[in-house]
Structure 1
Amino acid sequence: MVLVSAVRDYINRMLQDISGMKVLILDSHTVSVVSVGYSQSELLQKEVFLVELVDSISKSKESMSHLKAVYFLRPTSENIQHLRRQLASPRFGEYHLFFSNILKDTQIHNLADSDEQEVVQQIQEFYVDFVAIDPYHFTLNMPSNHIYMLPAVVDTSNLPHFCDRVVDGIASIFLSLKRRPIIRYQRTSDIAKRIAQETARLMYQQESGLFDFRRMEVSPLLLVIDRRDDPVAPLLNQWTYQAMVHELIGIQDNKVDLRNIGKLPKDQQEVVLSSEQDAFFKANMYENFGDIGMNIKRLVDEFQQISKSNQSIQTIEDMAKFVDNYPDYRKMHGNVSKHVTLVTEMSKIVEERKLMLVSQTEQELACNGGQVAAFEAVKNILNNESVSDIDRLRLVMLYALRYEKESPVQLMQLFNKLASRSAKYKPGLVQFVLKQAGVDKRTGDFFGNRDLLNIARNMARGLKGVENVYTQHQPLLFQTMESISKGRLRDVDYPYVGNHFQQGRPQEVVIFIVGGTTYEESRSVALQNARNSGIRFILGGSVVLNSKRFLKDLEEAQRMARSSTVVV
């Protein structure tokens, strides 16, 4: 429980030493940090009776001198200004200030100058400038994620801000873990190189004293890579529970918004999916969709027996009716009701969008050869009236990424077909993803076309057969972790920053993906860690992607590139 434990430890320390009634004041980022790491009932146990956002608290003039204010904020100039105004006319009896990252000396002096009534009791840095969504998976929740696709000449104003935010997030990870890493980056990515170099400058020069932790026999490794090296992972449909919920419905800070799927009880319109708070989810988050249905049925059967009901449950619809008919059961076992609702809704979406048909072709494109058969399969799906625009687009993108060099004529036919069938999505977006993440731009070989060992593996896998045709795909990250574990990560592809080299195999590795992670990749990390190979991997990224978010980022980057005079 590495990251989640670190976050909870900081929040515990923040709240438990301040006795009495408290108001917790957060910003738009730290509210995610706290909500993922701590439940509302736990906050109440710590005598937190009010939670407010720092910008909204500024608008109120009501005195609450009986409350102690606990601020937990990112150390941004905007937040410092909010604090200075609030300290100038304090509403609370005491002020306890905690920041999620390194404060500048000037910021501390400015706060001290504003505290004329001496209400500030303490100022501390608690290094949680990231959202720990799972024990080995974190995100920075960056809203303008598409910026990583744009060269500095297109967007000179936002790119430095983007890089600074990533460096801050990575720094806080290593400060919370009390480690200073050796840093490597993906050679083909300018932004990965820039972030790696700026992170090294912060850790080894600007704040070297802060990162001067006890030396380990082999230093931890930070590897900074670019999402565009594996554009396939965020384009695929998913068939394991956590990844599938995010792909089909969406997960934000471990919460799922269900308000748009029909009439649900108020307490079920937003549900929590957390491996820390939900034992069933923890046991099933990486399981295949078919197994999830059976596991939920077994759980419902057990509770049905407890409630002495003889109702026969044969289908998912039967399970949903059973839960609805037992208010007491729902109250006691709302967790079961939540999972029944999620599986029922996802089953509807799979049927409506013909995703089993679509996904089978996706997996063939991602994992197997055969350009002629692939072209026919994609063409047939484009002609299928039941297939949605977004699924047509994803299939053509996957085909283009796989066969861009082999079949330009057929690719142009698919572009034209896509344009005629899907007015919302123009083929220019497919060409843009090739410019961003085509074969000439990538370091890795996730299709296994260039490396003889990968070709042999693919042939062997094809001969042996695959247990589940819908989950054949392994993200490129899996190969990267294997290379690190075996000491085979090539220096020429992933150079070191500066003169800091690694002797021996690292025991701790943080992989940061600029542009975002996927839940399929976080599953690979969890499974790798479960092997007890002697290496612990942590995965982080600027956001957590599904295909909808990845396509949105592509569209926004394409729009900005077109509005510039620079050809991207």
Structure 2
Amino acid sequence: MVVVSAARDYINRMLQDISGMKVLILDSNTVSIVSVVYSQSELLQKEVFLVEMVESITMSRESMSHLKAVYFLRPTSENIQHLRRQLANPRFGEYHLFFSNILKDTQIHDLADSDEQEVVQQVQEFYADFVALDTFHFTLNIPSNHSYMIPAEVDLLNLRRFCDRVVDGISAIFLALKRRPIIRYQKTSDIAKKIAIETAKLMYQQESGLFDFRRTEVSPLLLVIDRRDDPVTPLLNQWTYQAMVHELIGIKDNKVDLRGMDKVPKDQQEVVLSSEQDSFFKSNMFENFGDIGMNIKRLVDEFQQYSESNQKIQTIEDMAKFVDNYPEYRKMHGNVSKHVTLVTEMSKIVEKRKLMLVSQTEQELACNGGQVAAFEAVTDLLNNESISDIDRIRLVMLYALRYEKESPVQLMQLFSKLARSAEYKTGLVQFLLKQAGVDKRTGDLFGNRDLLNIARNMARGLKGVENVYTQHQPLLFQTMESIIKGRLKDVDYPYVGNHFQQGRPQDVIIFIVGGTTYEESRSVALQNASNSGIRFILGGSVVLNSKRFLKDLEEAQRISRSSTAVV
């Protein structure tokens, strides 16, 4: 299961070799790392009777000497300080310390000095410093994700922290997979270049011994690219199940918070959407919204039949059989209820925000030409009082990205309309163009530069599309095709140092600085299922939906403005 199994294996090794009652102590990062690959019931099976945050342990003085403490923490200076204070006054019988990344020698010495009562049984590095959302998709959940858009001269400290966290996450992935990659990066992105160079320095110089794994015929490829090369994908409404849930409601660490929704049962206020734990979701996560409705109807019908068969209790044997099947019955009931609730809530949002109308214009802007028709369509929607502010801003952004050079007069007219109606000011659209306009981008985002892409788009237009709402393909799809065909240009994606690819790689990790989307993870899963001979893994600093992308833009704009004002 690639990244999921890599993380699970580390957690298994952490817990299974320590017998007896345990308390698992995590930090704000590792709690996400553990929760996406391990359920509460699985922790109980490993005799973990308590899960605590490292900060709360520091504040508590209650003795629990009958428990063995298993710490799983990122090796940050804050966590080391927490541990030093806790080891100075130990509350538990034994301490087993596991870190999600490389410890510095000074940190090891600090811990040894603090363990005066010799309660520490082991200190190990288990390289699960990433959140494994799915088989081929991981994230780092970086809170200050907007930092990638801020120039170094404006906020050097936060940019440094951001880069360090990304380098840590990428290095952990390769340590977990026991491989050392050849590294390439997007030439037009300063931050992608910086991260690629820092990662190479760590792997080939600073920790070269740690990455000296058994050589393979062809090294894996790490490609570091910038979100700003494809700002369209995170701006679009989504119509496949997983991506749509994240866009309309939000998914965090494979959990969906429904507490803000009307009439949601208490046991459904936070639900898990994991392909590892939910077979229906695994089968339907990439299906379009229309098919999901039909598939859920079949799921409900199956449950009703199962429920009726369990109600025919006439003998003691029938009762015993029902009791045996009750856990499965409850699980099936919860699953049906969860998916019905999600689809019901999304249907309400689609209707309220007129998203089918909005999305049709979005897809036309993203996939097809025709500036005059596009201007009329966007203008009509801006005049429609039923359209929400967030949908207005996204429509103008998509138009601006597509036609910034072709129709500056019409663009100014849209800016004027937007300023009168939307809470987001027009300066945000202009900031997006400054960050990710045509002059900044490497790839052929709209398929109108390269003859091959123009021909492909024409062919697709002649054939028609199966679903007008899902015709968009992220730029990542073209990037993967270029890698498969050996056409990724060195001039656009140079290598770091003197390490070059010899032959076609079998494993490729693409890391998007600024965040991935579930539409892109779907493209990766479908590409991997096509048996091209290359296995792709997708990673990013966060998982975006349009709200998060706009929030990052706003924060970067605010910091940029404040620094300009100071100057």
- The TM-score normalised by the length of structure 2 is 0.96
Q: Could you tell me which residue of structure 2 aligns to residue 217 of structure 1? A: 217
Partner of 1:194: 194
Partners of 1:420 and 1:125 in 2: CA distance: 55
**CA distance in structure 2 between the aligned counterparts of 1:404 and 1:380, rounded to whole angstroms:** 19
Give the alignment of 1:284-323 within 5 angstroms.
284-308=284-308
For structure 1, the residue ranges without an aligned partner over 5 or more in a row are 310-326
Distance 1:40 1:218 in 2: 40
The CA distance in 2 between the partners of 1:87 and 1:421, in whole Å, is 58
Q: 1:106 to 1:93 in 2, by over 3 A?
A: same
- C-alpha distance in 1 between matches for 2:73 and 2:104: 14
**Would you say the 8 A contact 2:303–2:336 is kept in 1?**
no
User: Could you say what secondary structure the match of 1:261 adopts?
Assistant: coil
Deviation at 1:329, TM superposition (A): 6.7
Q: In structure 2, what is the Cα distance between the partners aligned to 1:487 and 1:218?
A: 14
Aligned to 2:515: 516
Q: How many residues align?
A: 550
2:33 aligned residue: 33
Deviations 1:501-523 (A, max 9, x none): 01110000000000000000000
Poorly superposed stretches of 4+, deviation over 6 Å:
327-331
Distance 1:27 1:331 in 2: 30
Aligned to 2:397: 397
Q: Distance in 2 between matches of 1:515 and 1:120?
A: 39
Contact preservation (8 Å) 1:181, 1:221:
yes
| Identical-pair percentage | 88
Correspondence for 1:526: 525
Write the distance in 2 (CA, Å) between the matches of 1:330 and 1:215.
Answer: 49
Q: Partners in 2 of 1:195 and 1:216 — Cα distance?
A: 24
CA distance in 1, matches of 2:242, 2:451: 34
Deviation at 1:565, TM superposition (A): 2.4
Matched, 1:563 2:562: yes
Shift of 1:306: 2.9
Contact 1:154 1:566 in 2 (8 A): no
- Conserved 8 A contact 1:561-1:567: no
Aligned to 2:68: 68
Residue 486 of structure 1 pairs with residue 489 of structure 2: no
AA at the equivalent of 2:214: R
Secondary structure at 2:59's aligned position in 1? Answer: coil
Alpha-carbon distance change, 566 to 461 in structure 1, aligned in 2, over 3 angstroms:
farther
Provide the secondary structure at the position in 2 that maps to 1:176: helix
* 1:161 counterpart letter in structure 2: R
SS of equivalent residue, structure 2 residue 165: helix
Task: Tell me the secondary structure at the aligned position of residue 58 of structure 1.
Answer: helix
Letter in 1 for 2:194: R
- Cα distance in 2 for residues equivalent to 1:2 and 1:330: 30
Cα offset for 1:456? 1.1
Shift, 1:373, TM fit:
0.2
SS at match of 1:271: strand
Residues 99-129 of structure 1, C-alpha deviations (whole Å, 9 max, x = no match)? 0000001100000000000000000000000
Q: Which residue of 2 aligns with 1:361?
A: 361
1:548 aligns to 2:541 (yes or no): no
Partner amino acid, structure 2, of 1:257: D
Superposition map of 1:414-429 within 5 A: 414-422=414-422, 424-429=423-428
Residues 206 and 236 from structure 1, CA distance in 2 versus in 1: closer, same or farther, beyond 3 angstroms?
same
1:253 maps to a residue whose letter is D
Distance 1:328 1:458 in 2: 48
Letter in 2 for 1:536: R
Cα distance in structure 1, aligned partners of 2:190 and 2:414: 32
Secondary structure at 2:516's aligned position in 1? coil
Structure 2 unmatched runs, 5+ = 310-326
Q: Which amino acid aligns with 1:186?
A: Q
**3-state DSSP class of the match of 2:449?**
coil
In the TM superposition, what whole-angstrom CA distance separates every residue of 1:329-367 from its partner, at most 9, and x where no partner exists?
766521011000000000000000000000000000000
Q: Is the 8 A contact 2:84 2:110 kept in 1?
A: yes
Q: Distance in 2 between matches of 1:41 and 1:52?
A: 16
Q: Equivalent residue for 1:441?
A: 440
Amino acid at match of 1:111: L
Equivalent AA in structure 1 for residue 380 of structure 2: N
What is the alpha-carbon distance in structure 2 between the residues aligned to residue 215 and residue 393 of structure 1?
A: 50
- Show CA shifts across 1:223-270 (max 9, x none): 000000000000000000000000000000000000000132221100
1:37 is paired with a residue whose SS is: coil
Q: Does 1:272 align with 2:281?
A: no
CA distance in 1, matches of 2:299, 2:148: 44
State the AA in 2 paired with 1:234. P
- Of the structure 1 ranges 264-273 and 376-385, higher mean CA displacement relative to structure 2 is found in 264-273
Shift of 1:455: 1.0
Counterpart contact for 2:80–2:107, Cα < 8 Å: yes
Please give the per-residue CA displacement for 1:463-521, whole angstroms capped at 9, x wherever unaligned.
11101000000000000000000100000000000000011100000000000000000
Whether the 8 Å contact between 2:303 and 2:332 is mirrored in structure 1 is no
Compute the displacement of 1:328 (Å). 11
1:136-285 aligned within 5 A: 136-285=136-285
